[in-house]
Amino acid sequence: MGVFWSRGYHATALPDLLRATKLSRGSLYAAFGDKHSLFLRALDRYIDDAVTRLNIELDPRKDPVDGLRAYLAGYVDRTSGAHGRRGCLVIATAMELAGRDADVNRRIASFFKVMEARVADALSRAKAAGKLADGVDPANAARILVCFVEGLRVISKTASAGAITHAAADALLDRFIR
Amino acid sequence: MGVFWSRGYHATALPDLLRATKLSRGSLYAAFGDKHSLFLRALDRYIDDAVTRLNIELDPRKDPVDGLRAYLAGYVDRTSGAHGRRGCLVIATAMELAGRDADVNRRIASFFKVMEARVADALSRAKAAGKLADGVDPANAARILVCFVEGLRVISKTASAGAITHAAADALLDRFIR
DNA sequence: TCCTTTAACGACCGATCGGTCCAGATATTG
DNA sequence: CAATATCTGGACCGATCGGTCGTTAAAGGA
């Protein structure tokens, strides 16, 4: 997974995968089929990890505002420094392959949908608890937050997301909660 | 430019470029040097176009709030339907090459910086005109808006940005202006 | 112990990659 | 019109791509 994450699909050559898996060519093809299948496996694992984290942070049994704060803070941290420059496998894959690879497209679309749904759910719970500012629609706000964090990962491929970003994330959430 | 935009750097092979430029291999190399130089040229043109548009939309002589609205609306439109699925050359390049190509990194970083600066400037002017909501910091809000639009381009690689997105963009801006 | 079965290995494959270079067409000039 | 300069096209190059396959080593059972 790591090698695809660091380099992207096309830029990852068989020798890279062999080095990463410590397998020989033959064994790798016996175990995973082909490069594309192996990539799909890696992508699935990456997405699983992300969804798991999402389910923890935005757990319905926890306070939704705390959850949202943790969700945003997690993204800010993950986009800082070296981690940030590594980027995000989902976004890189979306830009590189989503348009021409149906298997990939399905996975990415579903992931974004799940994330937006989880965030929207947390916002709805916050609204029900009277913790949202007036006139905030959970669906719209969820899309805003998701776009914000994904955009974060993009711009922090080049510029490190420093203190400003943390402040921006806080400021964004503060616009929604009361 | 179009072929790099549609396919990405690595996935664009010489034959694609020959077809797109209607040049032969020899002529193309005489005119542009190599694939990398040609790509940089395409990237520069793409960025130039974007900056030009930015300068028009956020022209200091026009109303900053109108400008910001046009800026957001432009991105939403550009991420809808087929245009959206084509994605954004800057983002795709950022994810694909920024980490390993200094020339590319410089261009992308500078572009994001310019965009954020233009947006922050418009927000500052809006604040000076008393059009911003209480407690809104132009620098933070600028980062939020930039991340939002870039995130928009990412998620609309798979899901079409429909009416919800338009509403989200409006909702976001409405949180900042009074 | 020896034979069978399984799994790992890397040499090898055709295709295609980015890049070079020369033959021939075209245009220019005296 | 002829000689020269310019440019273009595509054959060709070594390297590397993703993928296959025969060989060899290891493991399991009788």
Nearest nucleic acid nucleotide to B17, CA to C1' distance: C18
Spatial contact of B91 and A156, defined as CB atoms under 8 Å apart = no
**Residue in B94, B139, B144 nearest the CB of A148:** B144
Spatial contact of B112 and A156, defined as CB atoms under 8 Å apart = no
Q: How confident is the model at residue A77 (pLDDT cuts 50, 70, 90)?
A: very high
* Residues contacting residue B134 through CB under 8 Å, at least 6 positions apart: B178
Contact A157 B96 (CB under 8 A): no
**Residue in B94, B144, B151 nearest the CB of A168:** B144
Query: Considering only CB atoms, which chain A residues are within 8 Å of B8?
Result: 10, 95-96
pLDDT above 90 covers what percent of chain A? 86
Q: How confident is the model at residue A145 (pLDDT cuts 50, 70, 90)?
A: very high
Which homologous superfamily is A2-174 in?
Tetracycline Repressor, domain 2 (1.10.357.10)
Does pLDDT of A99 surpass 70? yes
pLDDT reported for residue A162: 72
CA-based nearest residue to A17, from A31, A27, A33, A3: A3
- Tokens 């995973």 map to which residue? A32
Please tell me if residue A102 touches chain B, with a CB cutoff of 8 Å. Answer: no
Q: How far apart are the first and last CA of chain A?
A: 41
DSSP string for B100-147:
T-HHHHHHHHHHHHHHHHHHHHHHHHHHHTT-BPTT--HHHHHHHHHH
Contact A151 B147 (CB under 8 A): yes
| The overall pTM is greater than 0.95 | no
Contact A147 B147 (CB under 8 A): yes
Report the distance separating Cα A71 and Cα A172, nearest Å. Answer: 13
Query: Considering only CB atoms, which chain A residues are within 8 Å of B108?
Result: 157-158
Q: What is the pLDDT of residues B1-47, one digit of tens each?
A: 899 999 999 999 999 999 999 988 989 999 899 999 999 999 999 99
**CATH number, domain B47-176:** 1.10.357.10
Find the Å distance, CA of residue A16 to C1' of nucleotide D26: 27
How much is the average pLDDT of A109-121? 97
Contact A113 B86 (CB under 8 A): no
* Residues contacting residue A4 through CB under 8 Å, at least 6 positions apart: A12, A39, A42, A43, A89
Q: What is the pLDDT of residues A17-55, one digit of tens each?
A: 999 999 999 899 998 989 999 999 999 999 999 999 999
Please tell me if residue B163 touches chain A, with a CB cutoff of 8 Å. Answer: no
Does pLDDT of A69 surpass 90? yes
Q: What is the pLDDT of residues B55-90, one digit of tens each?
A: 999 999 999 999 999 999 999 999 988 888 999 999
pLDDT reported for residue B78: 93
Q: What is the pLDDT of residues B97-114, one digit of tens each?
A: 999 999 999 999 999 999
pLDDT above 70 covers what percent of chain A? 99
Query: Does the CB of A165 sit below 7 A from strand D?
Result: no
Contact B99 A85 (CB under 8 A): yes
Interface of A with B in 71-100 (CB under 8 A): 85-88, 91-92, 94-96, 98-100
Query: Considering only CB atoms, which chain B residues are within 8 Å of A105?
Result: 158
pLDDT reported for residue B53: 98
